[in-house]
Structures are given as C-alpha cells and as structure tokens.
C-alpha cells in the first residue's frame, strides 16, 4: 500500500547535516522525503585545512543536491514546534514531520590580535607568517588555545609541529615555538598514551608545551596565568571560539547550544533532533558530529517504521594528527571505558580518513575513486 513519505528537514549544510542525509538514504529510503536548508549548495570539508597551509591535501566537497531530495538555499531563522514549521531567513515557511538541527555553532575570534585559524583570510595570513619565519623576520610563534568557550585544539598542534619542522628544514634554528593551552597534558581528550606520545612529538620538534595555562593575548605579547610569565615579541595563532546558535523556539543552555538526549532528541520538542557543533555536547569535532547524526538517523528511521533498534550516541573520538611526516592516528572512547586511548602510525579505522564518519567517509572515498577512474 502506498504511504506518503515523512518529510524530514535537515537544517544546516555541514558534516552533521550531510551524514544525517546519507544515513537516512541508507536506512529509510523512500519512507522519507528529505529537504536540506543551508546557506550554500555545496558542503566543503575543512578536515584538510591545515594541510593546505603547507600546500598539501585538498578539500572534500559534496553537492547537497546529490544527497537530499530538495535543497533550499537559505538558513533557519526560527522554529514553531507546535505547528511543526520552520521560518527561513528569506521569509519562506516549511512544514516538517521530523526536523534535524545541524546548524553548527557561531565562530568568533577569541582576541583582537593574531591569526584565528578557521577564519576566511587565515590560510593566506598563515602563508605570510611562514614566509616571514623563513626570512628570519619572526623570532617566536605561539599557538594559543583559548581557555573560554568551546574549542577544538588539534589543528593548533598540527600547525605548531608542521611549522617547527618546516622552519628547521630551512635552517631557522633560532625561531622559538610554543603551544599554550588550558589542557593539563597534550591532547588530553585522547587519553594517557596518545597524550604522552604527542608530548614527545612536540618536544622532538622543538615546540615548548605550556599547559594548565589561561592566556591573554595582546598585540605582540601573551600573558600566561597563573604563572605570570609573559611572552613578548611573539606572533600568535589561535583557534576560534564557538558559541551556540540560539535559535528562537528551541531550548538552549547558557552558551546557546541545543540540549539533546543520547538519541539526539531535543527535550519537549516532538520530532526535533540536534546533531553536530550546535548541540550541547561539549566536544566539537567532525567525527563526533557524524556519530551524533547516525544516532539521529536511526531514531527517525525507527519512527517511520523501519525495523531498526536505534542505538544511543556513544562518542568515540577519532582523529588524524598531521605532522609533516608520518601522520598519527588517535582514538579514545570519551564516554568512558578506554582511558588509555590509542595512537599509531597505521590506521585504526576504515576508511582511514581524517574526517571519520560511517557514511560520509565512504561517500567521499567512492567519489574520489570515480574521479580517478574517469581521468
């Protein structure tokens, strides 16, 4: 008997949104009709952004029309949960049976000075900084992890290691590099074994690790607390701070992020789910966003009659640390049970992509294979 597909709106065009759409296609098929509402018609992965600074790697991209039944190039301005409708910034209103909020967070610079990696001009600015290092115009560079707000520190470790190695290869032995972070140990989220190995890697590259530190950045200097130490005449690179989307009609925590249960359901809003950086889970990382999206897709599939038992979100942190040489594969079950973590020079998951997602990684791998085959 013919059944009208349930209308699923996915708000956002990032990692969580694309993973949700791919998972729904696999799990629910024609039981759902998907609409993605996103400012851009193409998803661009930032997973290899650090590599591009050093003229390596290329961005992965997905045309949203290839993974959704309908693309609305707009953004969500407000939600009316009682009417099961969203209002777009352009004024259009769309009804939904299920709504996935994969809108991401709002990035801002932590300080007025220095380079914020992740902003549009940052890649060009980093190229310029590296050229100045090579010409001997820069004596000290600090890679500073902000102490307030939601941040993902791993790109700064990559930048510090690769910049130090490049400077050494150019004979610039007098340039000092430091990584300043509120973390007690290097990349402590990954557990004790990876943290120790990354600390040794930093030390071997001549990068000073300054942990348990709350930094304040001004022009040309970094104040380190609680030690009181001050880095002067230093160039600063930092990561952006994420704030929550604060969507009208949606509950939010104090920072504006959307609360969700382990299946991605937003409290008190039937049929509404949240995944990715806009959700209240404290670690903001692409691989974790795909795992949240998978839990959401399974919940929606079960709701539309697919015989599947939804699995709750159990975060396993996976990341590839680029070093300018052999990459390091890091893994840790951050929800508990694997406090040691794992680190290796060989892949710990398949496909061994920097953006580790059940559906998205394989989709990008298959697309790249088709492109190579068509040449």
Q: For 27-36, 57-66, 128-137, 221-230, which range has the lowest pLDDT when averaged over its residues?
A: 57-66
Range of the domain at 194: 112-241
Number of helices (H), then strands (E), in the chain? 7, 23
Tell me, yes or no, whether 24 lies in a domain.
Answer: yes
Q: Tell me, yes or no, whether 263 and 189 share the same domain.
A: no
The domain boundary, picked from 314, 331, 357, lies at 314
Cβ pair 130, 168 in contact under 8 A: no
Own/partner long-range contacts of 331-338 (Cβ < 8 Å, ≥24 apart): 331/190, 332/189, 332/190, 332/191, 332/194, 334/189, 334/283, 338/191
Split at pLDDT 50, 70, 90, the class of 58 is: low
Q: Tell me, yes or no, whether 179 and 216 share the same domain.
A: yes
Q: Tell me, yes or no, whether 101 and 118 share the same domain.
A: no
Nearest to 118 by CA among 170, 173, 87, 159: 159
Q: Tell me, yes or no, whether 74 and 61 share the same domain.
A: yes
Q: Tell me, yes or no, whether 129 and 227 share the same domain.
A: yes
Q: Tell me, yes or no, whether 118 and 236 share the same domain.
A: yes
9 or 44, which is more confident: 9
How much is the pLDDT for 1? 42
Q: Tell me, yes or no, whether 71 and 15 share the same domain.
A: yes
Place of tokens 């301005």: 77
How much is the pLDDT for 340? 85
Nearest to 353 by CA among 19, 102, 29: 19
How much is the pLDDT for 61? 80
- Cβ within 8 Å of residue 186, ≥6 positions away: 157, 179, 195, 198, 199, 202, 209, 211
Tell me, yes or no, whether 328 lies in a domain.
Answer: no
If one counts the domains in the chain, the total is 2
Q: Tell me, yes or no, whether 125 and 145 share the same domain.
A: yes
The domain boundary, picked from 314, 339, 363, lies at 314
Split at pLDDT 50, 70, 90, the class of 165 is: very high
Q: Where are the alpha helices (DSSP H) in the chain?
A: 15-27, 49-53, 122-134, 154-169, 192-204, 286-303, 360-373
Tell me, yes or no, whether 218 lies in a domain.
Answer: yes
Nearest to 238 by CA among 106, 118, 104, 105: 118
Cβ pair 150, 284 in contact under 8 A: yes
Domain containing 236 — which CATH number? 3.50.50.60
Beta bridge partners of 352: none
Beta bridge partners of 72: 37
Distance, CA of 209 to CA of 241 (rounded, Å):
21
Q: Tell me, yes or no, whether 194 and 84 share the same domain.
A: no
Distance, CA of 294 to CA of 263 (rounded, Å):
9
Residue 229 CB: number of other CB atoms within 10 A? 12
Q: Distance of CA 109 to CAs 113, 152, 187, 374, Å?
A: 9, 13, 21, 42
Beta bridge partners of 80: 85
- Cβ within 8 Å of residue 119, ≥6 positions away: 107, 109, 240
Tell me, yes or no, whether 343 lies in a domain.
Answer: no
For the chain, percent of residues with pLDDT exceeding 70 = 94
Tell me, yes or no, whether 354 lies in a domain.
Answer: no
Mean pLDDT value across residues 80-100: 97
The domain boundary, picked from 214, 241, 268, lies at 241
Split at pLDDT 50, 70, 90, the class of 59 is: low
pLDDT at residue 57 above 90? no
Nearest to 104 by CA among 264, 267, 276: 276
Cβ pair 101, 272 in contact under 8 A: yes
Cβ pair 159, 49 in contact under 8 A: no
Tell me, yes or no, whether 369 lies in a domain.
Answer: no
Split at pLDDT 50, 70, 90, the class of 49 is: confident
Tell me, yes or no, whether 353 lies in a domain.
Answer: no
Distance, CA of 56 to CA of 144 (rounded, Å):
23
Tell me, yes or no, whether 13 lies in a domain.
Answer: yes
pTM of the model: 0.94
Q: What is the mean pLDDT of the chain?
A: 92
Q: Tell me, yes or no, whether 263 and 172 share the same domain.
A: no
pLDDT at residue 304 above 90? yes
Q: Tell me, yes or no, whether 208 and 259 share the same domain.
A: no
Q: Tell me, yes or no, whether 93 and 73 share the same domain.
A: yes
Please, what's the largest Cα pairwise distance for the chain? Answer: 75
Predicted confidence (pLDDT) per residue in 100-112, tens digit: 999 999 999 999 9
Tell me: cis bond preceding 351? Omega within 30 of 0 counts: yes
């Amino acid at each position: 008997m013919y059944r009208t597909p349930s209308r699923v709106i996915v708000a956002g065009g990032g990692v969580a949104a694309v993973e949700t759409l791919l998972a729904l296609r696999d799990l629910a098929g024609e039981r759902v009709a998907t609409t993605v509402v996103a400012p851009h018609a193409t998803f661009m992965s930032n997973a290899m952004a650090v590599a591009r600074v050093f003229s390596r790697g290329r961005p992965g991209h997905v045309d949203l029309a290839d993974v959704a039944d309908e693309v609305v190039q707009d953004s969500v301005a407000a939600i009316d949960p009682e009417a099961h409708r969203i209002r777009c910034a352009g004024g259009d209103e769309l009804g939904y049976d299920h709504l996935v909020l994969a809108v991401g967070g709002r990035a801002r610079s932590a300080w007025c000075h220095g380079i914020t990696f992740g902003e549009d001009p940052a890649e060009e600015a980093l190229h310029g900084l590296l050229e100045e290092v090579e010409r001997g115009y820069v004596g000290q560079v600090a890679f500073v992890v902000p102490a307030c707000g939601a941040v993902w520190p791993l790109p700064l470790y990559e930048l510090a290691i690769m910049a130090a190695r490049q400077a050494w290869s150019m004979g610039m032995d007098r340039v000092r590099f430091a990584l300043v972070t509120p973390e007690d140990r290097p990349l402590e989220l990954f557990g004790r074994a990876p943290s120790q190995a990354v600390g040794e890697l930093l030390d071997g590259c001549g990068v000073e690790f300054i942990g348990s530190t709350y930094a304040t950045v001004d022009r040309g200097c970094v104040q380190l607390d609680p030690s009181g130490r001050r880095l002067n005449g230093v160039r600063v690179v930092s990561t952006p701070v994420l704030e929550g989307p604060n969507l009208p009609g949606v509950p939010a925590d104090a920072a504006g992020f959307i609360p969700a249960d382990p299946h991605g359901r937003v409290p008190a809003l039937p049929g509404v789910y949240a995944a990715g950086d806009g959700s209240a889970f404290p670690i903001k990382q692409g691989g974790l966003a795909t795992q949240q999206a998978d839990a959401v897709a399974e919940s929606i599939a079960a709701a539309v009659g697919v015989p599947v038992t939804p699995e709750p979100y159990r975060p396993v942190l996976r990341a590839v640390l680029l070093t300018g040489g052999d990459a390091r594969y890091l893994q840790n079950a951050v929800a508990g049970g694997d406090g040691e973590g794992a680190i290796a020079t060989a892949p710990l998951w398949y496909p061994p992509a920097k953006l580790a997602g059940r559906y998205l990684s394989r989709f990008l791998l298959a697309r790249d294979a088709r492109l190579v085959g068509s040449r």
